[in-house]
Amino acid sequence: MSTVTALAPPLVRITGASKSFPGVKALDGVDLTIRRGEVHALTGENGSGKSTLARALAGMMPPDAGTIEIDGVVTAIPDPKTALDLGIVLISQELTLAPTLSVAENVFLGRLPRTRFGAIDWPRLREDAQRVLDRLGVHVDVDQRVGDLTLELQQEVEIARAMSTEARLLILDEATSSLSEAATDRLLTMVEEQRDAGVAVLTISHRMPELYRVASVATVLRDGRLMGSYPLPETTEHQLVARMVGRELSDFYGKRAIPIGDVVLEVEDLQTQDGQLRPTSLRVRAGEIVGVAGLVGSGKAELGLALGGAVAARGTVSVRGRTVRLGDPRAARSGGIGFVPDDRKSGAIFPTRSVGENFAAAWIQRFSRGGVVDARAERGAVREAIERYGVVTSSEHQSIATLSGGNQQKVVLGRIFALGLDVLVLSEPTRGVDVGAKAAIYQLMQDAAEQGAAVIVISSELPELLGIADRLLVFSHGTIALAGELVNDAALDEETVAHIAVTGQPPVAAR
């Protein structure tokens, strides 16, 4: 427990914060108090204003109205440098790294150590960066180019940069969304250490177990308005979710019985040319939802990339008996495979385009005749999709870059679901998505399965896989573990899946 009492003086007090964007009131008179030595959870559905409030504190988008007090003094935070000078450090799911620079340069970006002659002190930079990474348990070459790292390692470099500062207020905005369970555990342990040292922490996460592990209070926002602040763990998860969404979620996963049909997807000896995915064979039937679990580097992510045509691969993939050409995203889609990658920012959205353009990017063939697009039909489909998938936006013309991460994800998923393809391969489909939207996405998965699709869900969240899948495939060392094909029944639990993911073998008691 924290050595700082709950009555510690406030470090930050926000009063009447408001922020508007074209057609959207992101914050509407929000009050928030964050105390030293406290982990304060900021919760709410996507578009509720959480990230806007976090960015206001970090100097990325100052509020239109309201005040921010630091140590009781009204303070303007017009830019990130001011925030950093005040000891306010933001770790966001939206990476702010310089991809062409090294790991060490990114860890100390803007704070590179200098020699007495003013030149960069490279030996000290490498040594200091290595010390921070070792503290986090991150194993990566400090001279490696950040753009060549996996998404998870890039997120860990982002965290290392924040931890290398003398933070007084540490803000985590979905900082664990790209991390494995082991990396998440390391980060939360560090959060607890920071809390016990008197640092104030504001954490935003849709992963409830994380909030209940570290936070002592949760503030709920809905549609930019303050719903209230509630003590944890006295307020149950069910009660907190109900306040977030404004309704009861009676059955979160809503798993329903769907008849299983013939084999739709058949994979034989699929492997990537870089060796990350070793020869892997599997079958998925119509109406079946298959979950794919495994640690980072186990091959589970590469399975999705190979099926989606996003990486060079060899082997055989067929959909309803028709062979699909590998290594070509267009061939995968025309062959009946819809793929949603785990990194929407770099692999799924067009950040300079509108919501409507991002939806329609996958629908050109549906609304094109002789090279001419039926703009009216396309607009109608876009508006219908915005409503069906619950995208919070002022209109289809709004830039997708201005949406919350969860609403961006709804666009990415919605445009694939709307195609009615035979196979859906969804990699981390609910990453950064709020609980209400998650429940809706689970229903959409089941709708697709009920219509005869074969659905593959690749996820780092074991409760999600156990809640939605009919069968689990557990990856280890580049392919499905020997004991890794599991029927998802009442006897299957997280411990069994995790043990197989680590060792490739079932627990002794299960043998």
Confidence of residue 2 (pLDDT cuts 50, 70, 90): very low
pLDDT digits (tens, 9 = 90+) for 303-317: 999 999 999 999 999
CATH code of the region 10-245: 3.40.50.300
pLDDT digits (tens, 9 = 90+) for 53-107: 999 999 999 999 999 999 999 999 999 999 999 999 998 877 788 999 999 999 9
Angle at 432 between CA 430 and CA 434, to 5 degrees: 75
pLDDT digits (tens, 9 = 90+) for 388-402: 888 888 889 999 988
Please give the DSSP secondary-structure letter assigned to residue 101: S
pLDDT at 223 over 60: yes
Confidence (pLDDT) at 7: 60
| Dist. CA 223–CA 45, nearest whole Å | 8
| Dist. CA 415–CA 409, nearest whole Å | 10
Q: Could you tell me which residue, 461 or 427, shows the higher pLDDT?
A: 427
CATH 3.40.50.300 residue window(s) in the chain: 10-245, 263-349+420-510
Token pair in block for residue 404: 């919350």
Confidence (pLDDT) at 12: 96
Confidence (pLDDT) at 478: 93
Query: Mean pLDDT for the chain?
Result: 89
pLDDT at 359 over 70: yes
Least confident of 180-194, 285-299, 319-333, 461-475: 180-194
Exposed/middle/buried for 205, CB within 10 Å: 0-12, 13-18, 19+?
buried
Token pair in block for residue 288: 């079946």
Q: What is the mean predicted confidence (pLDDT) over 3-9?
A: 54
CA-atom Rg of the chain in angstroms: 23
pLDDT digits (tens, 9 = 90+) for 123-143: 999 999 999 999 888 889 999
| Dist. CA 147–CA 166, nearest whole Å | 26
Label residues 216-233 b or e (16+ Cβ within 10 Å = b): bbbbbbbbbebbebbebe
Token pair in block for residue 127: 């040594």
Instruction: Decide: 90 and 61 in contact? Cβ < 8 Å.
Output: no
Please give the DSSP secondary-structure letter assigned to residue 298: S
Q: What is the mean predicted confidence (pLDDT) over 318-344?
A: 93
Which strand ranges, in their side-by-side order, compose the sheet holding 65-70?
24-35, 10-21, 65-70, 73-74
Write the CA distances from 26 to 54, 55, 226, 357, 458, integer angstroms: 12, 12, 12, 23, 32
Instruction: Decide: 319 and 502 in contact? Cβ < 8 Å.
Output: no
pLDDT at 247 over 70: no
Write the CA distances from 465 to 54, 250, 276, 372, 473, integer angstroms: 30, 19, 23, 42, 10
Label residues 488-510 b or e (16+ Cβ within 10 Å = b): beeebeeebbbbbbeebebeeee
Confidence (pLDDT) at 58: 93
Confidence of residue 4 (pLDDT cuts 50, 70, 90): very low
Architecture of the domain defined by 263-349+420-510: 3-Layer(aba) Sandwich (3.40)
